[in-house]
């Protein structure tokens, strides 16, 4: 099956993306600090601090999103409810950022974000949910067939 390798590749890509986001925000914070940049009269130190915080928070969230497919690949089981919801939110964010990236950054950034989105979605759908046990009553409360 391809589900374990896909989960591992997804985890590696999300970890690499986390490092990239932190590095990009670090460069932006350094440039804002060196140039004493501000936005609409905001204190330049607040801009630098906000940029570092945003980079750190984004990096941590991407690492958490990367841990979920890594654990799914190691265990060879579908992520639980929290993991699935987290990966769905991560996929939606990548889709929205991809749509914004086309106009603001270019097609290369869009293509990268769509590859990450495809890996996350493939990780989600590669693992089947376990079938209900035949001996239990159905969801309507009807008794199980004998």
Q: How far is CA 83 from each of CA 42, 66, 77, 101, 142, rounded to the nearest angstrom?
A: 38, 10, 11, 26, 31
Q: Give, in degrees to the nearest 5, the angle at Cα 141 between 135 and 144.
A: 25
Asked whether residue 141 carries a pLDDT value surpassing 70, the answer given is no
* 135/24 Cα distance (integer angstroms): 54
| Packed helices 44-75 and 107-126: angle between N→C axes, nearest 10 degrees | 40
Radius of gyration of the chain (CA): 21
Q: How far apart are CA 23 and CA 141, in angstroms?
A: 55
**In this model, does residue 89 exceed pLDDT 60?**
yes
Query: What pLDDT, on a 0 to 100 scale, did the predictor assign at position 137?
Result: 55
Please write the tens of the pLDDT for every residue from 12-54. Answer: 999 999 999 999 999 999 998 888 877 788 888 888 999 999 9
pLDDT tens figures, 93-138: 999 999 999 998 899 999 999 999 999 999 999 987 666 666 655 5
**Residue 132: C-alpha distances to residues 98, 107, 129, 138 (Å):** 37, 44, 9, 9
| C-alpha to C-alpha distance for 19 and 12, rounded to whole angstroms | 11
* Percent with pLDDT over 70 in the chain: 88
Q: Give residue 135's pLDDT.
A: 61
Which residues, including other chains, have CB under 8 Å from residue 48's CB and lie 6 or more apart? 29, 32, 33
Length of the chain as a residue count: 146
């Amino acid at each position: 099956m391809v589900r374990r390798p896909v989960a591992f590749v997804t985890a590696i890509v999300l970890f690499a993306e986390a490092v990239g986001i932190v590095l990009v925000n670090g460069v932006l914070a350094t440039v804002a600090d060196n140039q004493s940049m501000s936005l609409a009269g905001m204190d330049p130190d607040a801009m630098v601090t906000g940029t570092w915080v945003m980079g750190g928070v984004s990096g941590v969230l991407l690492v958490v999103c990367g841990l979920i497919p890594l654990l799914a690949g190691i265990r060879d089981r579908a992520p639980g409810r929290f993991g699935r919801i987290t990966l769905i939110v991560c996929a939606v964010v990548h889709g929205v950022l991809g749509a914004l990236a086309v106009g603001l950054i270019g097609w290369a950034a869009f293509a990268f974000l769509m590859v990450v989105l495809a890996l996350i979605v493939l990780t989600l759908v590669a693992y089947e949910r376990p079938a209900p046990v035949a001996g239990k009553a159905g969801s309507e409360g009807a008794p199980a067939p004998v």
